Chains A and B, each alone.
Chain A
């Protein structure tokens, strides 16, 4: 077994924080890739940015009146969404409300039938696919690990957008993979086969693969599905760290409203393909909103740990009849 050569002692100098603690957006702050100048220069792929490349005053990623759906079935029509730069945006809504569809459109997996998705001031479809993949990463809902692949090999595949026919494994690739595995705590698993890992470990490996892509914007499609509560919190803490410490812009689709309220800096509530409310969770989450969006009568209290809104569903009995109507069939023994 050979080991990768040791990295220089100061890897932090390698890829500068793209969004150092959000300050007012300036055009220079918005230059496509986060890569150090040396790297983009060596890849030769850095686009020469013209003035109409820069969408002044807006966010890096937004939609312009998109209509999206599958075949002839329209899920969302005329949707305008903007992802605030440097935010941890969470999209919530009942099943089949179009939240994953929106995420697929934002990540150009789904082409809108009308309107367009705009990334860095250009229609996302007009940017070369690899170039988009250097700015915007996606953790899809369903990914497949090839049989017999090791953790480090899978994470390394996240480097594809930075590679070319001749440049298959640069020093940058290696450093990014090492860093992504360290950030997600899978370094100790690096030589294990992905097939052998637990669900929580596997999901962390997939996150590591997306991190190795080194994109300033990260989209996560229901990243906590199939995880138990401890691993859900662990993964969301990891996302929160990525957002706070590294300045990634994060967009996640989540099912759990309380997780959304706790971790999101920007919440988008969807119903029937339309946006019902958006803003900071503490500003928009009310019992009325939850009732409107999910049809669930509830109370909102302060999360005793974080102070964010906590949704407590009303008991089904309370909804239809009072407890006193039915005496407890099993009185205290």
Chain B
């Protein structure tokens, strides 16, 4: 710039507490938003607290010391079996499925620029239910078959929605509208399948359709944990692009982003996350819808963010599953029933809040 007289630019008010981190050579640099960090840590603490309660309470109340002993291998016998084999996989799976649902909800709400955009809305869950029902009633199959059917149904409907909404790229609004249409049609198919089934199959199907963590073992918790952690890795690279895409395709492309490619990558990761959750727990509603928005109210950041949404999802699902296990003990509710109640309360709160504006 030619003018040496240009005034020194003034300090900039950020309106938020931000810590700038830079390595000496400048190869590594970033901004850390302190409020977001505090919110994530607080949610983590709450999730751990809920997990401790889930591990210590139940038919056989245990002390925190006994649980820690069992985890570290000091305790043996029945205490160890209860904690490590029965309660821990379920508590861990609640956290992991919550993380997957929260993160995938953030992805879909960002892509559709809509607080109601979530895998529930765009047809994944209904499609997964259709797949599971077809296996249960038409083909006939065990646990593995139902899981496979649910994955085929869910991913199939997501692919269908993506391609039906595709016209020189996928726009958020069209995505939501096509998703609602496909969901409605699949819901009709589901209802028809249940009505025509015999009573026992219908009950099994309805139970699966509510989404439940009952009877979780390491066979589900182990692979699900690994898969969700693996899927969160590409999100580190995708998150900045996701936020750029929120500016609109034109602006994002002008800034050097392959808009359609990025969106497809986000859809793939989002569907994969919700697919893992559905495969191990069935379609659990509302967590993906509520977690990103609740987290956003806490972080007060721009748009939805993946990490706070994932942490909020873990808290929501862990707490919901605790309620599902203990509220009417010894009867165990499917966790999906609790999340629907929580989600309903959330929707009412959202509507009241919007109406008051």
| B1-41 near A? 1/0 per residue, CB < 8 Å | 11110101111111111111010001111110000000000
- Complex: A294 Cα to B178 Cα, angstroms: 41
| Cα separation A192 to B15 with both chains bound (whole Å) | 8
Contacts of B11 in A (CB 8 A): 3-4, 6
Interface code A1-14, partner B: CB below 8 Å = 1, 0 otherwise? 11111110111101
| Interchain CA distance A314-B300 in the complex, whole Å | 55
> Which residues of A from 170 to 192 have beta carbons under 8 Å from B?
170-171, 173-175, 177-179, 181-182, 187, 190-192
B233-246 vs A, Cβ < 8 Å mask (1 yes, 0 no): 00011001001101
Contact A145 B30 (CB under 8 A): no
Stretch from A24-32, A134-142, A260-268 at the B interface:
A134-142
Segment of B52-60, B132-140, B255-263 in the binding face = B255-263
B348 within 8 A of A: no
Contact, CB under 8 Å: B4 / A12 = yes
Q: Which chain A positions have C-beta within 8 A of B344?
A: none
Contact indicator B243/A140 (Cβ below 8 Å): no
Given A157-B247, A190-B14: A42 touches B6 (CB 8 Å cut-off): no
- Are B256 and A4 touching (Cβ within 8 A)? no
Contact of B248 with A by CB under 8 A: yes
A153 to chain B, nearest CB (A): 5
Are A169 and B15 closer than 8 Å at their CB atoms? no
Cα separation A20 to B1 with both chains bound (whole Å): 9
Q: Is the CB of A12 within 8 A of B6?
A: yes
The yes or no answer to B222 lying at the interface (CB within 8 A) is no
| B-chain residues with CB within 8 Å of residue A58 when the two chains form the complex | none
Q: Are B257 and A150 in contact (CB under 8 A)?
A: no
Task: Tell whether, in the assembled complex, residue B9 and residue A11 are in contact, meaning their CB atoms are under 8 Å apart.
Answer: yes
Tell whether, in the assembled complex, residue A170 and residue B26 are in contact, meaning their CB atoms are under 8 Å apart.
yes
Instruction: Please name all residues of chain A whose beta carbon is closer than 8 Å to the beta carbon of B253 when the two chains form the complex.
Output: 108-109, 129
B90: min CB distance to chain A, Å: 36
Q: Are B1 and A148 in contact (CB under 8 A)?
A: no
**Please, how many angstroms separate the alpha-carbon atoms of A117 and B107 in the complex?**
34
Count contacts on A: residues with CB < 8 A to the other chain: 73
Tell me if A278 is interfacial: C-beta within 8 Å of chain B: no
Contact B12 A146 (CB under 8 A): no
A169 touches B247 (CB 8 A): no
Q: Which residues of A contact B168 (CB under 8 A)?
A: 70-71
B298 to chain A, nearest CB (A): 12
| A87 within 8 A of partner (CB) | no
The reply to whether A10 and B4 form a contact with Cβ atoms under 8 Å apart is yes
Does B87 count as interface, using CB distance less than 8 angstroms? no
Q: Which of A1, A16, A132, A161 contacts B14 (CB 8 A)?
A: A1
Is A166 among interface residues, defined by CB-CB distance under 8 A? yes
B113 at the interface (CB under 8 A from A): yes
Cβ of A107: which chain B residues have Cβ within 8 Å of it?
A: 254
* Residues of A contacting B247 in the complex (Cβ-Cβ under 8 angstroms): 143-146, 157
Task: Please tell me if the beta carbons of B12 and A181 are within 8 angstroms of each other in the complex.
Answer: yes
Residues of A close to B250: CB separation below 8 A: 109, 138, 140-143
- In the complex, the answer to whether A179 meets B9 with C-beta atoms within 8 Å is yes
Contact B302 A11 (CB under 8 A): no
Cα A17 to Cα B1 with chains together (Å): 5
Instruction: Report chain B residues within 8 Å CB of A70.
Output: 168
Q: In the bound complex, do residue A245 and residue B3 qualify as a contact, i.e. CB atoms below 8 Å apart?
A: yes
B254 engages A138 (CB within 8 Å): yes
Q: Does A167 contact B (CB under 8 A)?
A: yes
- Asked if B12 contacts A177 (CB within 8 A), the reply is yes
- Say yes or no for B296: interface residue by CB 8 A criterion: yes
A191 touching B13 in the complex, CB below 8 Å, given contacts A2-B18, A169-B20: yes
Contact B10 A165 (CB under 8 A): no
Residues of A within 8 A of B296 (CB): 148
Other-chain residue from A4, A20, A168 in contact with B12 (beta carbon distance below 8 A) = A4
Q: Which residue of A lies closest to B23 (CB)?
A: A166
How many Å from the CB of A103 to the closest CB on chain B?
Answer: 11
A158 partner residues in chain B, CB cutoff 8 A: 255
B-contact bits for A100-135, CB 8 A (1 contact / 0 none): 000000011100000000000000000011111110
Q: Which residues of A contact B156 (CB under 8 A)?
A: none
- Report yes or no: A146 in contact with B243, Cβ–Cβ below 8 A: yes
Nearest B residue to A128 by beta-carbon distance?
B256
B301 at the interface (CB under 8 A from A): yes
Residue of B nearest to A156 (CB): B31
Chain A residue numbers with a CB within 8 Å of B248 are 140, 142-144
Chain A residues with Cβ below 8 Å from B64 are none
Residue of B nearest to A11 (CB): B9
| B329 located at the interface, meaning its Cβ lies under 8 Å from any Cβ of chain A in the complex | no
Contact present for B28 and A167 (CB under 8 Å):
yes
Q: A134-B256, A137-B254, A175-B9 are in contact. List 12 more A-B contacts (CB 8 A).
A: A1-B13, A4-B12, A12-B6, A17-B2, A107-B254, A109-B250, A129-B256, A157-B247, A178-B9, A178-B10, A190-B13, A190-B15
22 A–B contacts, CB within 8 A, in A order: A2-B14, A2-B18, A3-B14, A4-B20, A109-B253, A132-B256, A142-B250, A144-B113, A144-B246, A146-B113, A148-B300, A152-B15, A157-B243, A161-B255, A165-B236, A166-B27, A168-B31, A169-B30, A170-B26, A171-B26, A178-B9, A181-B9
Q: B residues engaging A (CB < 8 A)?
A: 1-4, 6, 8-20, 22, 26-31, 113, 168, 236-237, 240, 243-244, 246-248, 250-251, 253-258, 296, 300-303
